Chain A
Amino acid sequence: MITLVKQSEKQYDSFFHSISLDEESCKGCINCLKRCPTEAIRIRRGKSLIIKEYCTDCAACIRVCPHHAKKSTFDSFDSVFGGDGSQEYEYKIALPPPELYAQFNNLDEKSLVLNALLGLGFDDVYEVAAAAELVSEITRKLLKNEKALLPVISSACPSVIRLIRVKFPNLVENISPLVSPAEMAANAAVRRAMLRTRLPREKIGVFFITPCPAKVTEVYAPLGVKKSQIDKAIALSDVYPRLLPLMKDIAARGLESEASKEINKAGRIGVSWGGHGGEAGGLLTDNYLAVDGIENVIKALEDLEDSKFKDLEFIELNACSGGCVGGVLAVENPYMAKVKLNILRKYLPVSGTRMDEAIPPYAYHDEKIEFQPVYRLGETLEESINLMMTVDELVKKFPGLDCGCCGAPTCRAHAEDTARNLASEKDCIHIMRKYLHKAEGLEIHES
Chain B
Amino acid sequence: MRQAEEVRDRRREPSPQGRPGLLVGGLVVAVAALALVAAASVALGARSVPLSTVVAALTAPDGSTDHTVIRELRVPRTLLGIGVGAALGLAGALMQGLTRNALADPGLLGVNEGAALGVALALGLFGVSDPAGYVWFAFGGAALAAVAVHGLAAAGRSGSGPVRLTLAGVALGMVFTAVASAILRMDAETFDRMRFWLTGSLAGQTPGTLARLAPFMAAGLALGLLLARPLNLLSMGDDTGRALGLSVGRTRALTGVAITLLCGSATAAAGPLWFVGLIVPHAVRGVVGGDQRWVLPYSAVAAPVLLLGADVAGRLVARPGEVQVGIVWAVIGAPIFILLARRRRVAAL
Pairing of A with B: no
